[in-house]
């Protein structure tokens, strides 16, 4: 069980009077509900069992960090930077990460509802054995993004650069914007299963 110090409840502008550079800090069982850390830097930090409800992390920078069993609704990561970071067994919802940059990031297990990565830049990012509901990858620039053993429910694509996007290891359910996936990789079975959806988006009438 986390110590009393680890269970500290941070309120309002928690980082307002603190150094905006956090180096090798372990936050275990910490409640960051409503906290403000816009533009903060986190180097080699670990979050274990932390709560990130309505947390404000716009423009923050995460390098060589680990998130373990973190949960939160309304996580603000707009234009944030995640580098060499692992997100393991987390349960997150309403994650606003549009315009963010992800490099060498691994998301393992858990579930993310409503992940907005519109206009994000993603390089060498891997999702493994997780469920992502309503993933928005519109206008994203992808240079290495894989989904292995994942379920993507209602993912959205379009107007992005997808040459480095590999969806072949994912189960795609009700995807939107398939016609904009130029350069992406899908398995043969996926193409067959999604043939009707492709035809509908392209305005093709399929005769029986």
Q: What is the pLDDT along the chain (208 residues), one digit of tens a residue?
A: 344 444 444 444 345 445 678 888 888 888 899 888 899 999 999 999 999 999 999 999 999 999 999 999 999 999 999 999 999 999 999 999 999 999 999 999 999 999 999 999 999 999 999 999 999 999 999 999 999 999 999 999 999 999 999 999 999 999 999 999 999 999 999 999 999 999 889 888 888 8
Strands (E), the chain: 21-23, 26-28, 41-43, 46-48, 61-63, 66-68, 71-76, 81-88, 91-96, 101-108, 111-116, 121-128, 131-136, 141-148, 150-153, 165-166, 170-173
Cα 39 to Cα 15, 20, 52, 83, 90, distances in angstroms: 10, 8, 16, 15, 23
3-state class (DSSP) for residue 153: strand
**Cβ-contact 129, 110 below 8 angstroms:** no
3-state class (DSSP) for residue 191: helix
pLDDT at 206: 85
- Cα(75)–Cα(67) distance, rounded to whole angstroms? 13
Provide the terminal-to-terminal Cα distance of the chain, rounded to the nearest Å.
Answer: 62
- Cα(203)–Cα(22) distance, rounded to whole angstroms? 52
pLDDT at 18: 57
pLDDT at 7: 43
β-pair type (111-116, 121-128): unpaired
Burial of 194 (0-12, 13-18, 19+ CB in 10 A): middle
Q: Which two tokens stand for residue 131?
A: 């469920």
- Please state which CATH class domain 21-201 belongs to: mainly beta
For the chain, what is the total number of helices (H) and then of strands (E)?
2, 17
Task: Provide DSSP, 91-104.
Answer: EEEEEE-TT-EEEE
Q: Domain coordinates of the chain in residue numbers?
A: 21-201
pLDDT at 19: 61
């Amino acid at each position: 069980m986390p110590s009393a110090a680890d269970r500290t409840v941070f309120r309002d502008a928690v980082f307002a009077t603190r150094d905006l550079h956090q180096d090798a800090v372990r936050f275990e069982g910490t409640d960051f509900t409503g906290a403000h850390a816009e533009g903060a830097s986190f180097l080699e930090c670990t979050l274990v069992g932390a709560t990130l409800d309505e947390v404000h992390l716009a423009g923050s920078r995460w390098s060589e960090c680990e998130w373990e069993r973190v949960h939160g609704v309304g996580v603000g990561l707009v234009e944030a930077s995640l580098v060499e970071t692992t997100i393991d067994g987390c349960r997150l919802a309403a994650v606003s990460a549009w315009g963010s940059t992800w490099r060498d990031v691994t998301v393992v297990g858990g579930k993310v509802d409503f992940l907005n990565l519109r206009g994000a830049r993603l390089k060498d990012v891997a999702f493994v054995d997780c469920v992502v509901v309503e993933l928005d990858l519109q206008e994203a620039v992808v240079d290495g993004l894989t989904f292995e053993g994942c379920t993507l429910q209602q993912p959205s694509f379009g107007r992005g650069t997808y040459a480095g996007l590999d969806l072949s290891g994912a189960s795609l359910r009700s995807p939107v914007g398939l016609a904009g996936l130029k350069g992406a990789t899908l398995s043969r079975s996926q193409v067959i299963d999604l043939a009707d959806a492709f035809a509908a988006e392209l305005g093709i009438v399929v005769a029986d």
